[in-house]
């Protein structure tokens, strides 16, 4: 019998078919699944839960990492989050249900939270965040579009966007000479996200608009590229290069080239997600891009949560495949590591055998490494570079007897690295529940002596936590025998 792959995870599809019902704690790849490493918090904790984080590159080429909570902004120095909040104006006041959102304009890091005036941090000489000058409006969303800072959901005008003067983050108002201006969007509901770049994308509750620079007197041409579809969950909005991702009530979507809006969850994960999602705490959702592996990662509170995220959905836009993870966290974000450390400098992380990442991990090396970061439930930040999480994968359901009953007596897992435990699931009819046999290990010859009889089968593989492996492809060498047609 031909090899059977660990199939594309599409839990919305019928059980009898070539789709996997489970792909947990793994990363989807083109022809296999790869391990998802644990989020290992390496920093000292923030005083409160993280409500936003981002990394920046200064003019000197070095990186800076910032985070915010319900009252303060912090900068990461080594393993410590140092308070670099404004020195005048008192603590910030986003509350527990507002997120910090960050952006960069030249040498300035920028931050908004929907309550306080926009903040700036000079990446070259700054010691603390201060108010952005030029009287910018209070805003919830922020992006850099070409030579402008664009703000969205302005104060008490939730359908308004406003942009700075040309090539000047601290010129605001409405003047043809500076090109600073604003636009109230006539429909589409509240602005729920912004993505910047050569052009801008404005997400609303029920529309997506593109901002294209034309210069005076128009400045920006604003075209609607999606009607009746928008970002229902603000934390789902993330962008990279010419791609952007968002979640609407009808499912997950991707914007390509600022023009086409493509469903990426339909017939795959949309129904399963909405059945699991704790909408009451949707303000705790976050999303991040892993540009190296081509991943969009969405963290959300699902069944069994206490309101904080306990699930990740992971989409590989190159392979067009999904997976999921069960992992409690406060948020996910795209981060960078550029700190080269000697062995002596690792003392602050504890004993050598207790280091959160291996010594050859990109976390420790001095070259810039773009990594998927997050905050754990103890308010500590770190990258997803710890040991591999326990992974569970399944094949699609198959009927080796062409409609007749069969007996399967063994198979070979196509998983490199440490051995996995395999379970054979079987049932007689589509009305029956799949009954799985006990987990069975792998012999020295690489075979798993599973046993079961029925008409329909699927195979589940469990790879223990901290295992060393790189690809899980499927099963092969299936020992199948006929068992009659009754």
Mean pLDDT for all residues in the chain: 92
Nearest to 104 by CA among 126, 71, 88, 86: 126
pLDDT digits (tens, 9 = 90+) for 203-222: 999 999 999 999 999 999 99
How far apart (Å, rounded) are the C-alpha atoms in residues 339 and 363?
8
DSSP state of 403: T
pLDDT digits (tens, 9 = 90+) for 66-107: 999 999 999 999 999 999 999 999 999 998 889 999 999 999
How far apart (Å, rounded) are the C-alpha atoms in residues 223 and 214?
12
Strand partners, 256: 243, 260
How far apart (Å, rounded) are the C-alpha atoms in residues 20 and 35?
17
How far apart (Å, rounded) are the C-alpha atoms in residues 52 and 371?
16
Q: Once rounded to an integer, what is the mean pLDDT over residues 118-126?
A: 95
* pTM confidence score: 0.92
Beta carbons within 8 Å of 444's beta carbon, 6+ residues apart: none
Residue 228 burial (CB count, 10 A): 9
Note the residue count of the chain: 486
Residue 57 burial (CB count, 10 A): 14
Quick check: 26 pLDDT over 60?
A: yes
Confidence of residue 418 (pLDDT cuts 50, 70, 90): confident
In the chain the domains, ranked by start, together with CATH numbers, are: 4-36+390-482 (2.60.120), 53-383 (2.130.10)
Confidence of residue 349 (pLDDT cuts 50, 70, 90): low
DSSP state of 137: P
Can you tell me whether residue 443 is helix, strand or coil? coil
How far apart (Å, rounded) are the C-alpha atoms in residues 188 and 191?
8
pLDDT digits (tens, 9 = 90+) for 232-277: 999 999 999 899 999 999 999 999 999 999 999 999 999 999 999 9
Can you tell me whether residue 426 is helix, strand or coil? strand
Residue 101 burial (CB count, 10 A): 26
Quick check: 279 pLDDT over 70?
A: yes
The structure tokens listed for 174 are 């409405």
DSSP state of 165: B
Quick check: 186 pLDDT over 60?
A: yes
**H helices of 210-296, where?**
270-276
Task: State the pLDDT at residue 367.
Answer: 58
How far apart (Å, rounded) are the C-alpha atoms in residues 485 and 173?
79
Task: State the pLDDT at residue 75.
Answer: 97
Greatest extent of the chain over all pairs of C-alpha atoms, in Å: 85
How far apart (Å, rounded) are the C-alpha atoms in residues 28 and 330?
23
């Amino acid at each position: 019998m031909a090899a059977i792959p660990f199939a594309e995870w599409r839990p919305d599809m019928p059980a009898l078919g070539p789709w996997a019902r489970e792909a947990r704690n793994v990363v989807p790849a083109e022809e296999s699944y790869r391990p998802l490493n644990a989020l290992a918090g390496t920093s000292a904790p923030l005083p409160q839960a993280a409500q936003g984080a981002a990394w920046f590159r200064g003019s000197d080429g070095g990186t800076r990492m910032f985070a915010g909570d319900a009252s303060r902004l912090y900068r990461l120095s080594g393993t410590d989050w140092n308070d670099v909040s404004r020195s005048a104006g008192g603590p910030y006041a986003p509350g527990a249900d507002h997120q910090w959102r960050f952006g960069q304009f030249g040498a300035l890091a920028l931050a908004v939270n929907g309550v306080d005036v926009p903040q700036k941090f000079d990446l070259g000489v700054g010691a603390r965040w201060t108010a952005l000058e030029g009287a910018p409006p209070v805003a919830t969303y922020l992006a850099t579009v070409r030579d402008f800072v664009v703000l969205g959901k302005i104060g008490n005008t939730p359908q308004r966007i406003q942009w700075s003067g040309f090539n000047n983050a601290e010129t605001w108002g409405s003047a043809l000479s500076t090109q600073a201006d604003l636009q109230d969007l006539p429909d589409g509901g509240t602005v729920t996200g912004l993505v910047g770049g050569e052009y801008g994308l404005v997400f609303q509750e029920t529309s997506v608009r593109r901002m294209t620079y034309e210069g005076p007197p128009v400045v920006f041409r604003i075209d609607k590229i999606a009607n009746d579809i928008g970002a229902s969950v603000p934390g789902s909005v993330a962008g990279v290069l010419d791609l952007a991702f968002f979640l609407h009530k009808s499912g997950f979507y991707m914007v390509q080239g600022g023009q086409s809006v493509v469903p990426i969850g339909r017939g795959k994960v949309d129904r399963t997600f909405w059945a699991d999602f704790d909408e009451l705490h949707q303000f705790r959702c976050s999303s991040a891009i892993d540009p190296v592996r081509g991943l969009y990662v969405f963290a959300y509170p699902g069944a069994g949560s206490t309101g904080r995220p306990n699930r990740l959905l992971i989409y590989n836009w190159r392979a067009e495949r999904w997976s999921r993870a069960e992992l409690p966290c406060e948020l996910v974000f795209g981060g960078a590591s550029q700190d080269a450390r000697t062995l002596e400098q690792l003392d602050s992380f504890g004993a050598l055998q207790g280091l959160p990442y291996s010594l050859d991990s990109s976390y420790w090396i001095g070259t810039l490494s773009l990594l998927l970061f997050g905050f754990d439930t103890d308010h500590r930040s770190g990258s997803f570079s710890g040991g591999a999480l326990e992974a569970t994968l399944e094949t699609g359901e198959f009927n080796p007897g062409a409609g007749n009953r069969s007996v399967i007596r063994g198979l070979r897992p196509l998983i490199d690295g440490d051995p996995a435990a395999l379970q054979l699931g079987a049932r007689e009819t589509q009305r029956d529940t799949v009954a799985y046999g006990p987990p069975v290990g792998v012999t020295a010859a690489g075979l798993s002596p599973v046993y079961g009889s029925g008409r329909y089968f699927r195979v589940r593989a469990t790879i223990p936590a901290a295992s060393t492996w790189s690809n899980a492809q499927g099963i092969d060498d299936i020992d199948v025998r006929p068992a009659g047609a009754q």
